[in-house]
Structure 1
Amino acid sequence: MGSPLSLLVVESDTQEVFRLIREIKTHGFSPLYQVVSSWKDWEERVVEEDWDAIVCSMDWQDGKTPQDLLSDLREKKLDIPFIVVAKEAVLGNALQVMRAGAADIIEYSSLFRLPLVLERERRELVYRREKEITTNYLGDSLREIQFQKFALDQATIVSITDASGIITYVNEKFSIVSGYRKEELVGHSHRILKSDEKTLEEWKEMWEVIQKGRVWRGEIKNTKKDGTFYWVDTTIVPFSAQDGSIFQYIAIHHDITDRKLAEDQLTHDAFYDSLTGLPNRALFLVRIEQKISEYNLSSKGFPIVVSVNIDNFKRINNSLGNGSGDDILRIYAKRIESVSGSNATVTRLGADTFAVLVVDFLSLNEANDFANKLLDYLKEIIPYNGYEIYLTASSGIAAFGMAGKEAEDILKNAEIAMFHSKESKIGTVSIFSQTMQEKIHYQLEIQNDLKKAIERNEFVVYYQPIYDLKEKEIGHWEALVRWKHPKKGLVPPVDFIPMAEDSGLIVPLTKYVLDDSCLFVNEVSFVTDKVSVAINLSAEVFQHQNIFHWIVDVHNKTGIPFSSLQVEITESLAMKNMNETIPILSNLRDLGVKIALDDFGTGFSSLSYLEKLPLSIVKMDKSFLNNVVPGSKEALLLISIIHMAHDLGLKVIAEGVEDKTQFDLLADYKCDMIQGYLIAKPMALQEAKEFMQNFKPIS
């Protein structure tokens, strides 16, 4: 039979109660417990028994908080250990409960600690009650009983000093805890324990209290003989002679090291990053505020924040695993610290983003030089488990004054500048400007309006024709969505497509484009019976895996042939998960839907996956047409790509064709189709029908 334990559990979830009790029983306890699920239950049951401990969930809700329960215990003058269990996400709030008087905080992933803490708190509860009895007894019997009898209580740490503070007696427990032999302590003052955490003023106040014959209570941090420290909750009782003079003091100490360590750990977790040990965002903002205050007082130490984000870090986690990713982040943290110097504060803001607070620079140019030096160092190869890891980083700079006068504003603007670098050219440094702020506001407005735009049918699909060089006719079109904003006018796709992908709105938007494209096929088929429309698929839509069912449904509803539809995927989408990509594309191809690889040449451009994917068409990015003249290296590359695609049985579309010279070259190089402003800009449905009726082959 396990050790009996009287327990009050404050928890609304029955399953969590069973989980807690099961954990306690597995460690040899035989708990007798009651469950509190409401304030009314609490009022009735907290006074029913002499509970060994109270275990309270941070998720318990009945209009009262754990702090309210602690306050109620104090009002009822009940000394019961109060232990809080909390999820990792609310540990910051749990810290307030600790400060309100909780004995310990236990995270749900560390429930194995609960039985250990219960045993510790039960033991400390016995100690406290014995100490209270001892202390009260001492106070009542100061002139009646010899002080030596009280020092024999082995449940507490006891020391006796004379009026000047010289130790005249310590009990055995004092020696065990401190590591000093009795002979090494007697004859010395308590300074031998190097209690340095209190100021001289605090020690002076303590002496004033006890020299006036009053009892002093407080917490003291002492140093053991081996150099480690321990905390004691101390009560010092002065003894006075018949003339009123103090002639000696009895100090009763209770070891509270475990509780203090738990508090320190909780405080550390609230302000430091658990992975790198660097200050987290909360502490970093405090440091910025401190430097701002110092600068305002002395005009020295100009605060500048440099934000740093690792480019494409997800590929490390995806390829090597999250554990390896964590190792690389620790290496990055050390590198940033080594370059930043001792006067800087380095933080990990979260995920793969860091920041540095510097105060040694007199200008933004100096800060810019520092950021570039930092990025150059971070680019150096990282040897790791047989791999050579190469990563770049992008950076943003924001300075006090120009980028705001509050810590939150400066840090936010440094991150804005960093994101500007990533959008412009990864691996570079940008200094915050008001233009960036305006761009962010614009993007936020676009993001907020995006969902409403779908609901209000503010989107329209434009169609760009694709010219068949061999047949000399228009047989293909690409569907391109446009947003007609009621206030901002025509919003470019580059401004809203990424946001639609991030928010998941790209899924209904793509469905809308598919439906409209089918209407387009039916309308244009009256002009020509050779028509197909290409629809761009983002990774989000593809992963949704409904595109196959969408196309089948729209075929059944509209009757358009599957061959009139073409889906375009990017290289990055194709490479993301080949095991899932190939079956979906193969099913679409089996229906007769054409599969095109868009923007070929801007990604990995691997021949091996070109062979594996069930493609029909390769679309060459317009960058391949730059500087192309007969006989040039660029021309040879262009010819090679076209021949390679033909050898694989694929047709080639050249994008971005804008002049007749490019047209003639592509015709000579046996390119299959061209798309670009030379043929026509994207156009609405009615304009497209008129274009088809009036179109003449290009000669």
Structure 2
Amino acid sequence: MGSPISVLILENDSSSVFDIVREMKANGLSPLYKVVESFGSFESTVLEEDWDAILCSTRKPFHLEISLYLKFLNEKKIDIPVILISDQEDFQKNLQYMKSGVNDIIDRTTLLRLAEVLERERRELVYRKEKNTTETFLFQSLKEIQLQKFALDQANIVSITDANGIITYVNEAFANATGFPVTELLGQNHRILKCQNKTKEEWEKIWESIHKGKVWRGEILNTKKDGSSFWVDTTIVPFIGTDGSVFQYIAIHHDITDRKLAEEQLTHDAFYDNLTGLPNRALYLARIEQKIFSYNIKNDGYPILFCINIDNFKRINHSLGNEAGDKILIIFSQRLKQFSDKEAVITRLGADNFSILLNHLLSIEEAVDYAYRLLEYIGDPIPIGGYEIYLTASCGISGFGLGGKEADVLLRNAEIAMFHAKSQKVGLVSVFNQAMQERIHFQLEIQNDLKKALNQNEISVFYQPILDLKTNKIGHWEALVRWRHPQRGMVSPAEFIPLAEDSGLIVPITRFVLEQSANVIEEVQIKNGKPISIAVNLSPQVFFDQNIFHWIVDLHKQRNIPYTSLQVEITESLAMKNLSETVPILSNLIDIGVKVALDDFGTGFSSLSYLEKLPLSILKIDKSFLNNVHVGSKESFLLISIINMAHDLGYSVVAEGVEELEQLELLKSYQCDEIQGYWLSKPIPFPEIIPFLDQFYQKENQ
């Protein structure tokens, strides 16, 4: 049977209560607990039992009532440790709670320290009760019978001084706590412990108070003989003689070093990054405010912010693992510190984003030069796991005035400039300007409107036919999503698709396109008997995070959609991202009869070894390959090579962007299998598909 402990739980989530109780039991505790869900219930329940601890949720409604619980306990003089169960690390609020009387804070997601903290607080509670009893008895007994020896024996750490503060007695616990032998302490005063947290003026006030016969209590940071520090909670009791003057002082100490270290760690965690030790965003913003204040008051030091993001870090992390990624982040932060001067303030904003605050540069031009030299410096190879990793980074710059006059605005604008740099090419430096901000605002508006678009029937699907050059029949169609904005009109997919991917909206949009394509297949093939196959484009997010295979299987089972009537198109970058994950998904799709097309071939980092390993059905050549193609040109030889290579690998070839008859004839002569483009048809809505097919085949039969 576990160690019994009585706990009052303030929580309205039964699953959270279950997790808390299970954690206590798993760590050898046998909890007697009661759950209350409101302050009204708390007032009566807290008096029913001699509780060892109160566990309080920081969720609604409790986060608004924590101060009420603390106030109630304080006013009623009820000594029960209060431990918060916190969902997220709101450090500033948590620190305020700690200062208001909360004993500790436990992370709800892990509860790892719960049992340890409960045991610790129970021990301290027992100690406080015993100490209060001892102190009460001490005051009474010393006044009545002057049994000083009894008090000394009962106290934890004790020292006695005469009226002048000279140490006349210490117990063994005092000697052990300070590291000084008893013989070295006797005849000295407490200055031998070199108090670190009290000034001379503060000590004078303390002595003035106890000299008048008042008991003093407070926390003191002392120094041991070996130079290390320790904290004590100290009560100094003055003893008054028959003449009304103090003749000695007894000091009772309790070592609270562990608790103070925990508080210091909590403070550090609230303002510093655990991995790199750099200031976090909250502390960084405060430092920026300081520099801005100094600049405004003294016109001293022009604040300039640099936001630096490691290029392609997710790929590095995914390939080498999180441990290697963490090592790279630590080395990267060290290089930032090595390159920067001592006055620079460097922070890790999160993930692979860093920022530097400087105030010694005289112009933005100097800042740009500084940034490029910094990016060159951090580019030295990093040996990790048998590899040499060459890092590049993108940097955004904002200067006071030009990039804003407040800390959060300056930082936000430096981040905007950094994102602009990343959108151009790797290793670029961009300086914030108003056009970037307007572009961000435009993107945010588009992204917000996109969230409403599906529900308001603004999203539709158009279909572009693909012609089989050998049979002169429509081989299949590509589903293309379109957005008609109520104010802006048709929004280009090039603008809203990347935003949909960033926001996660690409998942419901892709599901919508797939459902709409199934509607077309039902109408055209199942009801009207006209064979049709439709290709749907997949983004990386849908491909890896969602099970597209099960989506298609569900359509087949629920709506009788033939597998052969559906195709998927993936990009070259998606296919090469992670072969170990990509190949099984593609293989499963092909096994059930779904064709897989590799879209825009040749626009990325093409690799024949990757191409050979991928299970594909179709290779789609980007329309850029048709530019300036004529018989005998280098472009034509490249086009022929791609077509022949695809055929050798067993793939059929679709040429995109065919707009002229000459291109069509040339592709026929090169043995291209299919073509897609405006020469055949622009993308058309669902109702026009059957009329298009009827008209197309009617012309063919004439």
Structure 1 stretch displaced more, 165-174 or 215-224: 165-174
Evaluate the alpha carbon distance shift between residue 156 and residue 466 of structure 1 in structure 2; reply closer, same or farther with a 3 A threshold: same
DSSP 3-state at the match of 1:505: helix
The correspondence of residues 517-532 of structure 1 with structure 2, limited to 5 A, is 518=521
CA distance in structure 2 between the aligned counterparts of 1:520 and 1:489, rounded to whole angstroms: 29
SS at match of 1:302: coil
In the alignment, which of 517, 526, 532 is matched to residue 514 of structure 1?
A: 517
Q: Which residue of 2 aligns with 1:225?
A: 225
Distance in 2 (CA, whole Å) between partners of 1:126 and 1:690 is 86
SS of the residue corresponding to residue 227 of structure 2 reads coil
Partner in structure 2 of residue 405 of structure 1: 405
Match of 1:567 in 2: 568
In structure 2, what is the equivalent of residue 292 of structure 1?
292
Contact 2:273 2:280 in 1 (8 A): yes
Identify which range, 176-185 or 317-326, moves more after superposition: 317-326
* Structure 2 counterpart SS, 1:455: coil
2:483 counterpart residue number: 483
Closer, same or farther: CA 140–562 of 1 in aligned 2, 3 Å: closer
Computed over aligned residues only, the root mean square deviation of the Cα atoms, in angstroms, reads 4.0
Distance 1:133 1:493 in 2: 76
- For the residue of structure 2 that corresponds to 1:305, the secondary structure is strand
**Aligned partners of 2:533 and 2:565 also within 8 Å:** yes
Instruction: Give the 5 Å matches for 1:14-413.
Output: 20=20, 24=24, 33-59=33-59, 65-87=65-87, 89=89, 93-108=93-108, 111=111, 113-136=113-136, 146=146, 148-149=148-149, 152-239=152-239, 246-413=246-413
**Cα offset for 1:492?**
0.9
Are the structure 2 counterparts of residues 82 and 475 from structure 1 closer, same or farther at C-alpha, using a change threshold of 3 Å? closer
User: Amino acid of the residue matched to residue 610 of structure 1?
Assistant: L
1:237 alignment partner, SS class: strand
Deviation at 1:76, TM superposition (A): 0.9
Cα offset, 1:70, TM superposition: 2.1
Give the 3 Å change call, closer, same or farther, for CA 393–33 of structure 1 in structure 2.
Answer: same
Question: How much has 1:440 moved relative to structure 2?
Answer: 1.2
CA-CA distance at 1:75 after TM superposition: 1.2
Q: CA deviation at 1:90?
A: 5.7
Q: Do the aligned partners of 2:521 and 2:532 also contact (CA within 8 Å) in 1?
A: no
Structure 2: how far apart are the matches of 1:453 and 1:463? 19
Does the C-alpha gap of structure 1 residues 128 and 680 become closer, same or farther in structure 2, counting only changes over 3 Å? same
The offset of 1:249, in angstroms, is: 3.2
* Equivalent-residue separation in structure 2 for 1:213 and 1:289 (angstroms): 47
- Give me the whole-angstrom Cα distance separating, in 2, the residues matched to 1:590 and 1:134: 80
When residues 175 and 420 of structure 1 are mapped into structure 2, their CA distance, relative to the original with a 3 A threshold, is: same
Residues in 2 aligned to 1:26 and 1:650: alpha-carbon distance in whole angstroms: 58
CA offset at residue 674 of structure 1? 4.6
Cα distance change on mapping 1:362 and 1:157 into 2, 3 Å: same
Q: Which moved more, 1:141-150 or 1:604-613?
A: 141-150
Tell me whether 303-312 or 532-541 shows the greater mean CA deviation.
532-541
* 194-203 vs 255-264, greater mean Cα deviation: 194-203
2:599 aligns with 598
The more displaced of 675-684 and 244-253 is 675-684
Deviation at 1:92, TM superposition (A): 5.8
Q: Deviations over 1:95-147 (max 9, x none)?
A: 33322212233335665644444444344334434443455566667776659
- Does residue 548 of structure 1 match 2:552? yes
Q: 1:151, 1:159 within 8 Å by CA — same for their partners in 2?
A: no
- Of stretches 333-342 and 609-618 in structure 1, the one that deviates more from structure 2 is 609-618
Moved more, 59-68 or 197-206: 59-68
Change (3 A) 1:26 1:140: same
Are 1:221 and 1:229, in contact at CA under 8 Å, matched by a contact in 2?
yes
Q: Residues 592, 9 of structure 1: CA spacing in aligned structure 2 closer, same or farther, 3 A cutoff?
A: closer
Give the partner amino acid of 2:514.
K
Shift of residue 231 of structure 1?
1.2
Say whether the 8 Å CA contact 2:461–2:513 is kept in structure 1.
no
Residue type at the aligned position of 1:598: D
The amino acid of 2:517's aligned partner reads L
5+ residue gaps, structure 2: none
Q: How many residues in Structure 1 have an aligned counterpart in Structure 2?
A: 691
Q: Give the superposition deviation at 1:423.
A: 1.6
Which amino acid is 1:457 matched to?
N
**2:552 partner amino acid:** F
Matched-pair contact (CA < 8 Å) for 2:310–2:393: yes
> Mind listing any 5+ residue stretches in structure 1 that lack a counterpart?
none
Deviation digits for residues 607-631 of structure 1, max 9, x if unmatched?
3443344433212234445676777
Q: Tell me by how many angstroms 1:294 deviates.
A: 1.7
Give secondary structure in 1 for the equivalent of 2:454. helix
Cα shift at 1:11: 4.5
Question: Which AA in structure 2 matches 1:514?
Answer: S
Moved more, 426-435 or 686-695: 686-695
User: For residues 317 and 123 of structure 2, what CA distance do their matches in structure 1 show?
Assistant: 46
Native 8 Å contact 1:162 1:168 kept in 2: yes
TM-score by length of 1: 0.85
- Distance, in Å, in 2 between the alignment partners of 1:658 and 1:537 is 25
Q: Which residue of 1 aligns with 2:538?
A: 537
CA contact (8 A) 1:653 1:672 kept: yes
SS in 2 for 1:355: strand
CA–CA distance in structure 2, aligned partners of residues 477 and 6 of structure 1: 69
Q: Is 1:607 equivalent to 2:608 in the alignment?
A: yes
Q: Which residue is 1:496 aligned to? A: 496
**Counterpart residue number, 1:652:** 653
Which deviates the most, 259-268 or 323-332?
323-332
Q: Distance in 1 between matches of 2:623 and 2:16?
A: 60
| Cα distance in 2 for residues equivalent to 1:472 and 1:62 | 71
Task: Give me the whole-angstrom Cα distance separating, in 2, the residues matched to 1:21 and 1:486.
Answer: 54
CA contact (8 A) 1:511 1:550 kept: no
1:373 to partner: Cα distance: 2.4
Following superposition, the deviation at residue 466 of structure 1 comes to 5.0
Letter aligned with residue 511 of structure 1: L
Identical counterparts, % of pairs: 59
Q: Would you say 1:619 and 2:638 are equivalent positions? A: no
1:661-676 pair list within 5 angstroms? 669-675=670-676
**Separation in 2, partners of 1:408, 1:548:** 46
State the one-letter code of the partner of 1:288: I
Q: How far apart are residue 435 of structure 1 and its match?
A: 0.9
Question: 1-side partners of 2:656 and 2:519: how far apart?
Answer: 23
Contact 1:465–1:478 under 8 Å retained in 2 = yes
Distance 2:129 2:301 in 1: 53
- Partner residue of 1:414? 414
- Counterpart CA distance in 1 for 2:465 and 2:420 is 34
Q: CA deviation at 1:234?
A: 1.9
- Decide whether aligned partners of structure 1 residues 630 and 220 sit closer, same or farther in structure 2, where only a CA change above 3 A counts: farther
Moved more, 219-228 or 135-144: 135-144
Please report the TM-score for the alignment, with normalisation by the length of structure 2. 0.85
Pick which of 191-200 and 72-81 moved more: 191-200
Residue-by-residue CA offset, 1:237-272 (whole Å, 9 max, x unaligned): 344566655554332222222221222222222222
